[in-house]
Amino acid sequence: MDYEIKYSGKYKYVEEGAGEPLVLLHGLFGALSNFKDLVDYFKKTHLVIIPLLPLYDLTLLETSVSGLSRFVHKFFEHRKLRNVHLLGNSLGGHVGLVFTLKHSELVKSITLTGSSGLFENGMGETYPKRGDYNYVQKKTELTFYDPKVATKELVDEVFSIINNRIKALKIIALARSAIRHNLGDELQEITQPVCLIWGKNDTITPPMVAEEFHRLLPTSELHWIDKCAHAPMMEVPVEFNAILSAFLEKHKG
């Protein structure tokens, strides 16, 4: 993504457009490029902000879903953000839910796509498997309905991360934290409107996860996208943006 990364204090983030704030929280391997089409579309109507989550920079004790939620809160305070439309993919959705449960006064609406928080199939018990490029490629391809979306650039990025010992340890810590931090008993406390946008072919957070989110979140609406897996905003951006645009239009002002 060609957007400028801004630096302010200890925070790094992308910020484009003007209007009501739309904050995007990326997942465990969520490159900024995953949100390119979304930013291109919504910067015309919203102030789109992507904080770079410190997945590898927190202490091991703070490397958790709750630790990332605390980071997001400090970022909100730093940027004086209020009445935010929050969107999270995968681990980012989980972080967004924990943040909303603790700071509901700051959040206007929530959009979840392929979110953890109830159940997810990780990269497998042996993951990360360092040094095996073909293994990493196959696992990365599982993110998408069409494996061709897992470009060499994307696979190289994941391969680079898991072959860094410290980063690999942080990935494991975050994945374990996500599994332990189940939100099933807390979701009914969320009263903001929630938009669930889910790939029907998601194998990481399967359709049953979306259905359970929909059941437990009292103000949610569920939208399915066919021939799509774990990253709809990346794999089918036109359909994803149309659903999100209609949702945000209902809850603006």
**pLDDT per residue as tens digits for the range 203-228:** 999 999 999 999 999 999 999 999 99
Residue ranges per domain, the chain? 5-250
Contact 194, 167 (CB under 8 A): no
CATH number, span 5-250: 3.40.50.1820
Q: Which pLDDT score is estimated for 196?
A: 98
CA angle 70, 73, 75 (to 5 degrees): 115
Q: pTM of the prediction?
A: 0.93
Element (H or E) spanning 108, and its range? strand 107-113
- For residue 199, what pLDDT is reported? 97
Give the rounded percent of residues in the chain with a pLDDT score beyond 90: 71
Element (H, E) at 195: strand 194-199
